Structure formats: C-alpha cells, structure tokens
Amino acid sequence: MKKTATYHITVEASTRNLAKVRDFVSNHAQAEGFSPASVADLCLAVDEAYTNIIKHAYKYDATQLVKINLEFNNNEICVALTDSGDSFDKSTYVEPDIERQIKDKRRGGMGVYLIHILMDKVDYNTSTDENEIRMYKQRD
Amino acid sequence: MKNFKINHRTISWLDVLDLHGELDAHTASQLEDSLKLLIDSNKSNIIVNCRELEYIASAGLGVFMAYIEDVRVSGGDIKLTNMNERVYNVFDLLGFPTLYDILDDERDAVEKFSSEV
C-alpha cells in the first residue's frame, strides 16, 4: 500500500512570500526524509517556478494567488504550483546562453533551465482558466 | 522572512561587498542598488564575499550578469569569493565558473586584482 501525504498553501503572488514558500517546502521535505541536498534542490526549483508566476503569469500583480501543493508517496514528491494568469508557452522557450547574455546585459531564462536540471520530471498543464506546473523528484 | 544584508568595506583600492542571508527575487534589488552605487562612483574593482550567503536563486545571479560587462569595460572586474558548496552549485549549474572569477577566499581575489594592475 502506498503511503501518501499532501500539504497545501495558497499565497499571494509577491516576492515577499518567497522565503515563506521555501520554508514550507523545506520543512515538509525534511520531515519526509529528503536529504539536505534534495531539500535544497526542491526549494530552489519551487522558488524559480513561483518567481516566474509572479513575473510572467501575473506581471507583479500581488493581489493574485498561487496554490502550492506537495504530494509525497513512497517513491517521490510532486510539487504543483497553480496560477490563473498568462500561461507559459514552452515552444517559445530558449535555453539561456549566459556568455551572450552577459555581453548584451540581459538576464532571464535561467529559472526554467534550473527547474529542469534540479527535478526529475516537469509537466505543464494549461486549462481555460488555470496553469499548473508539476515538478517531480525521486526520494534519495 | 529571513534577512538579506549587504555590508560595504574597502581594502586599499578595492571595494568589498559582504553578502549575508538569502538572495532571491525579493532581495536582489538590494544587491543591484549596491553594485549600481559603486559603478556610478567609478568603482570597478569589486569583490563580493559570499561567506555569509546562505542561499541564491537565479534572480541573484541575474544581477551579476547585468553589471559585469560595465565593470569590465572600465578595466575592472567583479570577483566572487568564499561561497558555500550549495551556493557554488547554483553558479556551476549555469556555467558561471568559466565566465566569472570565483575564488575560494577573499585573499585570493585581492592577490589576483593586484597582479592584474
């Protein structure tokens, strides 16, 4: 039988809540036995996903909400972030070229890249009124 | 919320920023302001000491990306030192070690700046 646990918070889309969101993820992942390195990876991936929602989906409108769901089972954690802003079009995404961006004084694109490196699997789901990113990481 | 703090000091002709705490999309503007202030006063030999930096997200790295070119064009550099393993790992994942001087200790950065004069 699969042991499962689910935790949930809803937060306003503001960078002020970044530390709170990281703490939420870190506390539960630690309690579920994830290693310090995996907890750090999870926190960074969630930070990047949440920051992208604030910037791109909601364009810094801090009255909007982001739902964050943690689902643990025997094998892995799935972190899902849901928003109702502009959806992320994966087809327009280009991997960052840091050397080039430095010359052009451009930043960006690094969050999505990091999420994909840090997590084992990433899915994007978009319906008419919601976007969801689901990020999976295996237990150590 | 955890604090992020920057302390500014000088070692002879070098400017040192000591970063403390967590650098993310909320706190990155503080680093941006500090770097801008130095660059606007024509200070271009900058050491960023990360000894007390506990966490960094890509928004923090973005600040270094936005200003390094200005500093290098005026003959200076931003050298990063004393990172903990986890912070270094984020820089490493994005390929920064080949583009930035990331040194074990602040003294190494001082020596390197002196040898570059």
Give the whole-angstrom CA distance, residue A70 versus residue B89: 25
CATH number, position A106: 3.30.565.10
Chains A, B: CB pairs < 8 Å: 74
Q: How confident is the model at residue B2 (pLDDT cuts 50, 70, 90)?
A: low
Residue B115 within a domain? no
DSSP states of A38-62: HHHHHHHHHHHHHHHIIIIISTT-T
Q: Which domain holds residue B54?
A: 4-110
CATH number, position B87: 3.30.750.24
- The torsion defined by the Cα of B107, B69, B60 and B87, in degrees rounded to 10, comes to -40
**One digit per residue, pLDDT tens: chain A, 140 residues?**
456 999 999 999 999 999 999 999 999 999 999 999 999 999 999 999 999 999 999 999 999 999 999 999 999 999 999 999 999 988 888 899 999 999 888 888 899 999 999 999 999 999 999 999 999 999 98
Q: Does A11 touch chain B (CB under 8 A)?
A: no
With beta carbons less than 8 A apart as the criterion, state whether A34 and A25 touch.
no
Chain A contacts of B66, Cβ < 8 Å?
105-107
pLDDT digits (tens, 9 = 90+) for A90-131: 888 889 999 999 988 888 889 999 999 999 999 999 999 999
- CB pair distance less than 8 Å for A99 and B61: no
- CB pair distance less than 8 Å for A102 and B65: yes
Residue in chain B nearest A51 by alpha carbon: B25
Q: Measure B62 CA to nearest chain A CA, in Å.
A: 5
Residue B117 within a domain? no
Chain A contacts of B78, Cβ < 8 Å?
none
A 56-95 residues with CB below 8 A of B?
none
With beta carbons less than 8 A apart as the criterion, state whether A130 and A87 touch.
no
Strand-strand pairing, A65-72 and A121-126: unpaired
- CB pair distance less than 8 Å for A98 and B94: yes
Provide the domain count of chain B.
1
Q: Which residue has the tokens 């993820």?
A: A25
Residue in chain B nearest A21 by alpha carbon: B1
Provide the domain count of chain A.
1
Give the whole-angstrom CA distance, residue A48 versus residue B25: 9
pLDDT digits (tens, 9 = 90+) for B75-96: 999 999 999 999 999 999 999 9
Q: How confident is the model at residue B1 (pLDDT cuts 50, 70, 90)?
A: very low
Average per-residue pLDDT for chain B = 96
**Residues in Cβ contact with A41 at an 8 Å cutoff, skipping those fewer than 6 apart:** A118, A119, A137
Q: Which domain holds residue A111?
A: 5-138
ipTM here = 0.94
Chain B contacts of A66, Cβ < 8 Å?
none
The shortest CB-CB distance from A98 to any of B1, B63, B96 is to B96
Q: Measure B25 CA to nearest chain A CA, in Å.
A: 6
